[in-house]
Amino acid sequence: MMKIRKFLKDKSGSGGPLILAIVLGCILLSTVMFENARLMIVAQGIRDAVQSAVIDVATQNWDEAYAGLREGYSGGYQLSENEWYRNITNGNIYGRLQKVLALQYENGQYVKYAGENVEYRLSDLTVDVSNAPLAPSNPNGISQLTATGTITVAVPLSFGFGHLPDMKITMRFQSVYIPKF
């Protein structure tokens, strides 16, 4: 501690490069922290929008799955002549995301622009809507109408001057209808 104090009190000018190095280190560290915060905000906004779209799909299917029947004892099925067929849909999640997030479709991906720069890309959406069982044999283990899936998000980094790869994450989502008791 005494050496550092002596070094800082030295008037010979050798402390200038050290102070410059400390300031540049602080700037670099704050830049990394701000970039991390930007990536977290973008990812959270996308997650919220995707979750909202999936909840819309589950809500859209709820009416078909539980139309006027006791909850837990029916699924989204419809009788056609002598056969039951599944009457639920995966919905148009990309269409909903296009409206909410102002996305553009390019080369098999949905892209969000901030001016002329790409803010993020969405791709590889998979959605599976699991139908509730038709008259389950075990009422205690009833599975509900569930929408699950994944989407890949790629966010270009503004830190690193284009030399660093995009941040790519695969987001998982789930929406389950839970009856009120």
Give tens-digit pLDDT for 96-132.
888 888 899 998 899 999 888 889 999 998 888 777 6
Residue 11 lies in a domain: no
Which carries the bigger pLDDT value, residue 159 or residue 23?
Answer: 23
**Number of domains the chain contains:** 1
* 3-class DSSP assignment, residue 68: coil
Q: Which residues of 37-64 are buried (b: 16+ CB within 10 A; e: fewer)?
A: eebeebbeebbebbeebbebbbeebbeb
Give dist(CA 176, CA 143) in Å, integer.
Answer: 9
Between 30-39, 40-49, 55-64, the lowest mean confidence (pLDDT) is in: 55-64
pLDDT at residue 68 greater than cutoff 60: no
Residue 52 sits in which domain range?
16-176
Q: Is residue 29 part of a domain?
A: yes
Is 88 part of any domain? Answer: yes
Residue percentage of the chain with pLDDT more than 70? 72
83 strand-pairing partners:
80
Express as a percent the part of the chain with pLDDT over 90. Answer: 20
Asked if residue 6 is part of any domain, the answer here is no
Q: Are 84 and 77 in contact (CB under 8 A)?
A: yes
Predicted pLDDT at 91: 76
| Rounded Cα–Cα distance for residues 114 and 112 (Å) | 7
- Rounded to the nearest integer, the mean pLDDT of the chain is 79
| In the predicted structure, residue 71 carries a pLDDT above the cut 60 | no
CB 136 within 8 A of CB 142: yes
Cut 0.85: pTM above it? no
The predicted pLDDT at position 117 comes to: 87
Residues sharing a CB contact under 8 Å with residue 119, sequence separation 6 or more, in sequence order: 42, 112, 113, 155, 156
DSSP states of 83-142 as a string?
EEEE------HHHHHHHHHT-EEETTEEEEEETTEEEEEEEEEEEEEEPPPSS-S-GGGP
Lowest mean pLDDT among 57-66, 97-106, 118-127, 136-145: 136-145
pLDDT higher than threshold 90 for residue 22: yes
Q: Is residue 163 part of a domain?
A: yes
